[in-house]
Structure 1
Amino acid sequence: MSTLRSLTEGRWTVPSVAGLLIAISFLLDRLMDTDAAGDIAMVAGAVVAGTPIVAKGVSALLAKVVGIDLLVSVAAIGAVIIGEHWEAAAVTFLFAVGHSLETTTLNRTRSALAELVAVAPDVAVVMHDGAQVEVPAAQVATGEIVLVKNGAKVPVDGIVIDGTGGLDEASITGESLPVEKSAGDEVFAGTVSRGGFLQVKATGVGADTTLARIIHRVEEAQDAKAATQLFMDRFSAWYTPAIMALALVAGLVTGDVVLGLTLLVIGCPGALVISIPVSIVAGIGRAAKDGILIKGGEFLETSARIDVVAVDKTGTLTRGRPQLTEVVVLDPGMDRAQVLTWAARAEAGSEHPLARTILDAAAAEGATVHGLPEATEPVPGKGIVATTDGRRVLIGNLALLEQFEMADTSAAVRTAGSMAAAGQTPMIVAVDDLVVGVVAVADEVRRDAARMVAELHAARVDKVVMLTGDARLVAEAVGKATGVDEIRAGLLPEDKLDAVLELQREGHTVAMVGDGVNDAPALATADIGVAMGAAGSAVAIETADIALMGDNLLKLPEAISLARRTVATMRQNIVIAVTTVVLLLLGVLLGGVTMAIGMLVHEVSVLVVIVNAMRLLRRRSHAPSSPDAVAAVERRLLQNA
């Protein structure tokens, strides 16, 4: 029964039945002396194929839209009236085949969305009163404990509270290798366990999961129209009446009704109409498979024109997690561990953002830090003063030492200066009245940052600009390591906005890459706002023009390259479609092109356009395109090693 239903309701049912009736018509003409039976079968084939076309044409006309379906309807009905049964059947049959092929192709290019829906989990195993209970995934409540066993799909967004395991996150971040998870790590619905056993506390369920938001965004994006597509809609609004007028004039002037009807059929811009949407859907679908969410066709087109990329430093070019990079001992009576321990004891009572970095580094090196200092006093803009074990400990900058009139600070000044020049943040440590050392922290530059910049240049981006609120010396160190073309440091959020506006006034199409928080004004103003690491961030997914799932910097040049390929494909398809229509119209007017032949060529052009767009679905390996770019990346990585 299901097979029968699929045959009667499938997208290929109409052209299949029509094609069978046309074949029967030819067979009857060969077997019988009269043409009547064959003509009846041929007209029946035209009616089967043409009925949906006429219905759509009438519906569009009632909505005051003169569309392509109306052209084909008038031509087919006219051909039947004047006895050109084969032409009527051929036109409607080929048009029906083209429509089915178009529908099939669009469904194929939407495969990324279908795959995302397919990975959505159906059931979840939750803990109820100490027992494991299997429930529909949509019924899991926020805060419940979900069990994820080997081979199972994670049914919710959540935080691991116990256990270890490896998760395949390809459906969310595009990461090909399983990611190890343990207590405190974040997990996403739709990812698959490749080993281990996890207990997950649900933080996002149902429509609030990252997967659900991605599906919603891809669905919206594939339906959104690009500027070129909107232009084509406006073009069709006057093109279709113009073709009808041309056909009417040609028929009246020449007295050849067949010529007029043939012009109606040949003038159908079917390939032109499908050339844009099939390219956009294929491009956005390919991007979604690769962990790149593009908001819609308009933003895909704009991305193809990007010639300047502005990037935030912290969290984009760097990891956003400062690490202890150096400990310099200035007191001969102490060693590295002692200097670090004094710094950690003082920072134990501090609210300074870098305090956690010092404490973690001390713990990693086995230093003992028990409890809090007896007293902690922050000195705004300078550092802190702490009392621990009856000793006064200062940790901060030179101004703090000067405030407490510390003697012999020359070595500390030289050391701190060289650290700052290297892009590190120095903190001088003094115990009682003696400077004992300098500790330095720095935000680690991502290992793929330099490669990203090189690949942006390879993708024909003219300039990469770093916009950061950090100090000039730190920014220059990161800039040198990554190879950015321009550095603008010490910027407030409104300064970043002004920088983007300035670049736009210079005539550039600007993409701004940031974390969506302090960069929000610049992200909103840029021609394209790009959110990094959007997995799990509802705000980033909903507000960014492009959201890069996961934390892979190389997705940015990949997105720009894909946008350029998509727009190039759109232009190729337009040229193919327009050239075909022009040549066919000339062929009809000059003689030699019949209605059936013209429709066949027309449908072939539709097929060519579709196949051309389908090339976008192929995955391309992404690497710097020139040996010079590769060499530059290798040099920077060696310098940072």
Structure 2
Amino acid sequence: MVAAAAVAGFPILRTAGRALLARVVGIDLLVSVASIGAVVLGEYGEAAAVTFLFAIGHALETATLNRTRSALTALVALAPDVALVLRNGEQVEVPAGSVQTGETILVKNGARVPVDGTVQQGAGTLDEASITGESLPVDKSAGDGVFAGTISTGGFLQVLATEVGAATTLAHIVHRVEEAQEATAPTQVFMDRFSAWYTPGILVLAIVVGLVTGDVLLALTLLVIGCPGALVISIPVAIVAGIGRAAQLGILIKGGEFLETAAKITVVAVDKTGTLTRGRPALTDVVVLNPDLTRSEVLGWAARAEDGSEHPLAGAIVQAAAQDGALPEHIISVPGQGIVAAVAGHTVLVGNPALLHARGVRGTDAATAVADELAARGRTPLIVVLDGVIAGVLAVADEVRPDAADMVAALHAAGVARVVMLTGDGPRVAQAVAADVGIDEIRSSLLPGDKLDVVSGLRRDGHVVAMVGDGVNDAPALATADIGIAMGAAGSAVAVETADIALMGDNLLMLPAAVDLARRTVRVMHQNVALALVTVALLLAGVLLGGVTMAVGMLVHEASVLIVIVNAMRLVRRSGPRAEPAARKKSEKSEKSEKQEMMA
């Protein structure tokens, strides 16, 4: 028994000695004192049992705890060891770390992309789940960006390397997850301070009990029973598991502090353009007012006139027309009104009622009525006039993302009280988008500074505010909010490094998934703390009332530690609202149907 206690107890004693040199009174010291005291008292079986159970328990803790870091391990494993590089016209396999910026990388079916870059030639599909959380393969062709660590599921790509080694998006993600899992949450800071007083307090209590009762074995048993192992590990193990699970979903959380704050969010402020909407205008309506013309003819004349325009709305019209027509011979741009173009001997006007009035076009009542109706629905109307006769009215609008309404509903389900839309657009457009999406509150016609004021006002009202955006204009509001959340951060090292939470993909359902995961993580933290405290309280009562021995106390203590870890590991499993493949497929189908309708 003494030999067993010595073999199992020596590593514990060594760790306790190192901790004392650092002026830390830890769990290992309590176990060491208890086991040595048991040997001195002749309780050899107790000494062997305590050290053996502690050693076995510590090994199990380490093995189980490592599983909570599985997400980080999986991310590191994604980095390929080799790369196929095109050098001097030949394919050369080299270590991935030796690839230089500007070299051409060949990515074949089944291979991992070793660098961040841009596709030069070829076509194929890549599994980007490790970066963006998107489970469906993404089509890639010339001009598209690719990320290191993604896997080719078909095709052949020639990629120009733009970021290599530690500069890749994958490397930034690994670095950020590693730092986040090591960061200390506010609750953990409190528990560390508590443990710093609790552990010496148990030592003093044991000494007092021993002196008062004269029962040294009872005092030593108190040392074992009072070990705060489960208490110390209850918070960090939950944070590591929560942040790791978030990384698997394509959600980067900067640290435990932001994880805890995200669990308290009551208001989410969302930028409209580029977040709730796609950030690019698209043709929505074509109303024909000249019976001599067809829908395609009205659209075609407008597209030919706009083909030489640099206005953002022009691209939507030209893209919708998708035809090779006569280019405009001469264009007059009228700021705030539209354009006048000469096309194949005809004069085409595309603009608002003010342009028609300025050009003396007659019979505008019907066109103006249609334009007003479209504007009331949050769309930008453009009246088309051919050779002085009104041909029809086109409408252009920024497309609302198909998952925007689901996101708002999921945020409410996750416990967020209000979703506020912040936009620089006018009230009509804002109201139309809000009606489609289900927004609770609208703040329209805002400048970047106004968005900051809105966020500050919400915080002054006592709300915990998350600001979601994707543009430079949102930076002041993102910095002011309790939690700044960057959308579509994949490939942006700045967003990954500066955002409190970075959603790597453009899937809006990641946002409620992040909030729900944060709330579940904090619940697990509270459960773990409660379990640890109840276990210690029951064991202390059992010791003082009799019936709980040193070995039994150590067995229960180690069991509570394992239960705490296993409870935290529940976070690693898939659960809660998230962007399931079916939802993505539904969105993709709706996008395809929209495109087909547009082409028709």
Same fold (TM over 0.5): yes
Return 172-181 or 273-282, whichever deviates more.
172-181
* Equivalent position of 2:128 in the other structure: 169
SS in 2 for 1:622: coil
Q: Residue 309 in 1 paired to residue 268 in 2?
A: yes
Q: What amino acid maps onto 1:318 in structure 2?
A: T
Match among 196, 204, 216 for residue 237 of structure 1: 196
* Equivalent position of 2:430 in the other structure: 475
**Which residues of 2 match residues 186-197 of structure 1 at below 5 A?**
186-197=145-156
Return 468-477 or 614-623, whichever deviates more.
614-623
* Equivalent position of 1:107 in the other structure: 66
* Equivalent position of 2:582 in the other structure: none
* Equivalent position of 1:485 in the other structure: 440
SS in 2 for 1:351: coil
* Equivalent position of 2:490 in the other structure: 535
SS in 2 for 1:153: coil
Whether contact under 8 Å (2:280, 2:399) holds in the other structure is yes
SS in 2 for 1:141: coil
Q: Residue 559 in 1 paired to residue 514 in 2?
A: yes
Distance 2:378 2:419 in 1: 19
Q: What amino acid maps onto 1:556 in structure 2?
A: L
* Equivalent position of 1:583 in the other structure: 538
Q: Residue 291 in 1 paired to residue 250 in 2?
A: yes
Distance 1:620 1:583 in 2: 33
Q: Residue 570 in 1 paired to residue 529 in 2?
A: no
SS in 2 for 1:534: coil
* Equivalent position of 1:368 in the other structure: 325
* Equivalent position of 2:418 in the other structure: 463
* Equivalent position of 1:213 in the other structure: 172
The aligned length equals 584
Distance 2:481 2:411 in 1: 17
Match among 606, 621, 624 for residue 561 of structure 2: 606
Distance 1:369 1:471 in 2: 35
SS in 2 for 1:142: coil
Whether contact under 8 Å (1:123, 1:134) holds in the other structure is yes
Distance 2:503 2:56 in 1: 38
Whether contact under 8 Å (1:376, 1:387) holds in the other structure is no
SS in 2 for 1:453: helix
Whether contact under 8 Å (1:346, 1:376) holds in the other structure is no
* Equivalent position of 2:109 in the other structure: 150
Match among 125, 133, 138 for residue 84 of structure 2: 125
Alpha-carbon displacement from aligned partner over 1:426-478 (angstroms, at most 9, x marks no partner)? 12233454443322111111111111111111111111111111121111111
Distance 1:195 1:203 in 2: 22
**Which residues of 2 match residues 157-556 of structure 1 at below 5 A?**
157-363=116-322, 366-370=323-327, 373-377=329-333, 379-389=334-344, 392-431=347-386, 433-556=388-511
Q: What amino acid maps onto 2:500 in structure 1?
A: D
Q: Residue 84 in 1 paired to residue 43 in 2?
A: yes
SS in 1 for 2:541: helix
Whether contact under 8 Å (1:337, 1:367) holds in the other structure is no
Distance 1:475 1:375 in 2: 32
Distance 2:576 2:231 in 1: 30
Deviation of 1:516 after TM superposition, in Å, equals 4.2
Whether contact under 8 Å (2:109, 2:156) holds in the other structure is yes
SS in 2 for 1:423: coil
Q: What amino acid maps onto 2:394 in structure 1?
A: V
Deviation of 1:344 after TM superposition, in Å, equals 2.6
Distance 2:378 2:264 in 1: 34
Deviation of 1:531 after TM superposition, in Å, equals 1.5
Alpha-carbon displacement from aligned partner over 1:175-234 (angstroms, at most 9, x marks no partner)? 222222222222211111111111112222111211111111111111111111111001
Distance 2:80 2:332 in 1: 51
Distance 1:216 1:394 in 2: 55
Q: What amino acid maps onto 2:184 in structure 1?
A: K
Q: What amino acid maps onto 1:368 in structure 2?
A: G
Deviation of 1:391 after TM superposition, in Å, equals 5.1
* Equivalent position of 1:95 in the other structure: 54
Deviation of 1:572 after TM superposition, in Å, equals 0.8
Percent identical residues: 70
Distance 2:482 2:509 in 1: 20
Distance 1:429 1:542 in 2: 48
Whether contact under 8 Å (1:374, 1:387) holds in the other structure is yes
Distance 1:95 1:353 in 2: 68
Alpha-carbon displacement from aligned partner over 1:394-446 (angstroms, at most 9, x marks no partner)? 43323333444443322222111111112211122334544433221111111
Alpha-carbon displacement from aligned partner over 1:369-406 (angstroms, at most 9, x marks no partner)? 43x643443x3333334444565544332333344444
Structure 1 residues 47 and 369: CA distance shift in structure 2, 3 A: farther
Alpha-carbon displacement from aligned partner over 1:136-171 (angstroms, at most 9, x marks no partner)? 222222222211111111111122222111211221
Deviation of 1:113 after TM superposition, in Å, equals 0.9
Whether contact under 8 Å (1:102, 1:274) holds in the other structure is no
**Which residues of 2 match residues 29-40 of structure 1 at below 5 A?**
none
TM-score when normalising by structure 1:
0.87
Q: What amino acid maps onto 2:178 in structure 1?
A: E
Distance 1:419 1:373 in 2: 30
TM-score when normalising by structure 2:
0.92
Distance 2:295 2:168 in 1: 47
Return 265-274 or 320-329, whichever deviates more.
320-329
Deviation of 1:57 after TM superposition, in Å, equals 2.2
Q: What amino acid maps onto 2:49 in structure 1?
A: A
SS in 1 for 2:473: coil
Distance 1:147 1:336 in 2: 46
Q: What amino acid maps onto 1:527 in structure 2?
A: D
Distance 1:339 1:359 in 2: 12
Deviation of 1:578 after TM superposition, in Å, equals 0.3
Structure 1 residues 344 and 72: CA distance shift in structure 2, 3 A: same
Distance 1:88 1:389 in 2: 100
Distance 1:545 1:182 in 2: 32
SS in 2 for 1:121: coil
Whether contact under 8 Å (2:326, 2:343) holds in the other structure is no
Distance 2:544 2:480 in 1: 52
Deviation of 1:85 after TM superposition, in Å, equals 2.3
Whether contact under 8 Å (2:5, 2:48) holds in the other structure is yes
Q: What amino acid maps onto 1:605 in structure 2?
A: S
Distance 1:458 1:229 in 2: 28
Alignment root-mean-square deviation, CA: 2.2
Whether contact under 8 Å (2:516, 2:576) holds in the other structure is no
Whether contact under 8 Å (1:105, 1:278) holds in the other structure is no
Structure 1 residues 516 and 80: CA distance shift in structure 2, 3 A: farther
Whether contact under 8 Å (2:116, 2:147) holds in the other structure is yes
Distance 1:623 1:543 in 2: 24
Q: What amino acid maps onto 2:94 in structure 1?
A: V
Deviation of 1:115 after TM superposition, in Å, equals 0.9
Deviation of 1:623 after TM superposition, in Å, equals 7.1
Distance 1:249 1:276 in 2: 30
Q: What amino acid maps onto 1:309 in structure 2?
A: V
